[in-house]
Amino acid sequence: MLKHNPFNRLFFKLLLGFWLCSSLIIALISLLPLLQQNHDRSKLPPRLEQVLQNVADRIQAQPQLLESNNLQRFHRGRNHKGGPIRLYLTDDEGKVLNSKRVSREFRRFQLMAEEANQPISHQFRDELIFGPLEFSVNGKSYQLFGRLPDNHPRPWFFFFADNKLLTAGLAILLSGLLCGLLAWYLGKPLRSLKHSANALAKGDLANRVDAATASRRDEMGQLAVAFNGMADAIETMVNNQQRLMGDISHELRTPLTRLQLSLALARKKGQQSTELDRIEYEALQQEALISELLTLSRVRLNATEKRLTAELTETLSQVLDDAEFEAEQQGKQLHINIDESICFEHLPKTLSRAIENLLRNAIRYAEKNIYIESQQTKHKVSIVVKDDGPGLPTEELEAIFTPFYRPDSARDRESGGWGLGLAITQAAIYAHNGKIVAQNDLPHGLMVTIDLPTN
C-alpha cells in the first residue's frame, strides 16, 4: 500500500499542508470585507422610506421649497422616533442642493446606491445613511437621502476589517502557527530517527525507531522501517562477531593450558633454560590477553549478569580497597569521595570492572594523587575518576576507548597492556545505557566522567 497510494507520499502532505494553510488565511482575510458589506448594507427599511416619502410629499406640495432661500428648511428634521435626522436633496446629476458641506461617507453611499440600483441603507462607523427616494417636481427629477447618527453593535470580527495592520499581523501569526504545527508533524519522526541513529552510533544496538514513526504511511515511515531493519542486521552481525571472538578466545585456552602444563612438567623434571622462561612469560601474556578478550565479549553481549539495586559503595568496596593498596605501594594517594546514600539499579560486577580499569589506569600515570568522586541527581549517577598525570593529546581522548588502541605514552606492554581495559570500561557503561567522556583536567591530568541513568 505504501508503494501504490501516491497520496501517502510526503510530497503531497507538504503540498496540501502549505496550500491549505495559505488558502485558509487568504480566504479569511478576503471574506472580512464581504461579511462587513453584507452586514452593513441592506434594503431600505419601510420606516426610513416613510420618512423620506413624507419629505418628498411636502416638497411636491410646496414647490417653492426648492428655491435656494428655502432649501435649508428641510436640511434638518426629525425621524419617526423624534430623533435628529439630516436630509440631502440632489438633482438628476447627483449634486447636493441643500448643503455645501458633504461628508466623504455620503459620497461613498451615493456610489453604493447607484451600483445597487435601488434604495438601500448602509451602516458606517458612527452613522446610518439611507436612500435615495426619487421624485419629480415640475418635470425635474430629484433624489432624497437621509442620515442618522447611529452606532449599533457590530460583530467582533469586524474589528479586524477596521484595523488592517493588526489583521495582517494576526494573519502572519496564524500562518506561522499552522506552519509550525506542520513542521512539528514532519520534524517529530526526524528527531526520533536522529535519536535512534545517535544511540546506535554510541553502541546501543538495541535502540529502534518508535512504533508510531514506523507505522506512518509516508516516506518517514518507510525510512523508519528501513532503519530498524538495518539496526537489526547490525545488532545480529555485531553480536555474532562478539560471540565468535569469545568462542575463539575460549578455544585458544585449551592449547594454552596444555602448553602451561608441559612447561610445569619440564620444570618438575629439572629442565631450566632461558628459552623455557621466555615461553612461560609469553604463555602468561597470552593467558591474560585471552582473559581480557573474553571479558570484553561478555560485557558487550551482557549475557552473564542481572541488574540489581544496590549501594554504590557496596559494589565498589573491594575495588576501592585494592586500588588504595596499589596506590600506597607506588607512593601515591587515592582520595575517595563517594556518598554512601547513592543507591540505584545496575550490574555490580560489570560496573566494578569498569571502575577498576579506570582506577588502575589513573594509578599507573598519576604523579601523586588519584581522585574518585560521585554524586546522584534526580535522573542520573555521575562518577568521576581523575589523576594528576600528564594527560593525553586532545585528538586521542576519544580513541582511547577503541579496542587495541594504545596512546604513544603507553606503547610497551608493561605499561600500556593491549588497549582493552578502557574498551571494556566503555562497553560496561554502554551496558548501563550510560555515557563515558575523557578530558584533560586543568592544570594537568586526565579526568574520566561516567553518567549512569537511574530511571
Average pLDDT on 73-88 reads 65
Instruction: Specify the pLDDT at position 410.
Output: 45
Q: 246: which 3 cell numbers?
A: 569469545
Average pLDDT on 221-238 reads 85
- The residue from 75, 195, 250, 444 that is catalytic is 250
Between the alpha carbon of residue 430 and those of residues 295, 412, 434, the distances in Å are 14, 28, 5
Tens of pLDDT, residues 126-150 = 788 888 999 998 889 999 998 888 6
> Looking at domain 45-148, which CATH architecture does it have?
2-Layer Sandwich (3.30)
Among 280, 243, 245, smallest CA distance to 265 is for 280
User: What is the β-pairing status of strands 84-91 and 76-78?
Assistant: antiparallel
Q: 336: which 3 cell numbers?
A: 575517595
Report percent pLDDT > 70 for the chain: 74
Among 194, 218, 175, 188, smallest CA distance to 11 is for 218
Inter-residue contact 25 to 17 (CB < 8 Å) = no
CA atoms within 13 A on the CB side of 403: 12
The one-character DSSP state at 119 is -
pLDDT of 415 higher than 60: no
Residue written as grid cell 562478539: 242
Tens of pLDDT, residues 242-297 = 676 666 666 666 777 777 777 777 777 777 777 777 777 777 777 777 676 667 66
Q: Where are the domains of the chain?
A: 6-39+158-189, 45-148, 305-453
Tens of pLDDT, residues 144-186 = 998 888 655 555 555 555 566 766 667 777 777 777 777 787 7
Helices 274-301, 348-365: crossing angle, 10 deg rounding: 130
Highest mean pLDDT among 32-46, 50-64, 82-96: 50-64
Tell me whether residue 80 is one of the annotated catalytic residues.
no
Instruction: Specify the pLDDT at position 223.
Output: 86
Average pLDDT on 178-204 reads 80
Between the alpha carbon of residue 323 and those of residues 27, 271, 392, 423, the distances in Å are 75, 38, 22, 20
Among 141, 199, 431, 117, smallest CA distance to 302 is for 431
pLDDT of 62 higher than 90: no
CATH of 305-453 given 3.40.630.10, 3.30.450.90, 3.40.50.10330, 3.30.565.10: 3.30.565.10
**N- to C-terminal Cα distance for the chain?**
39
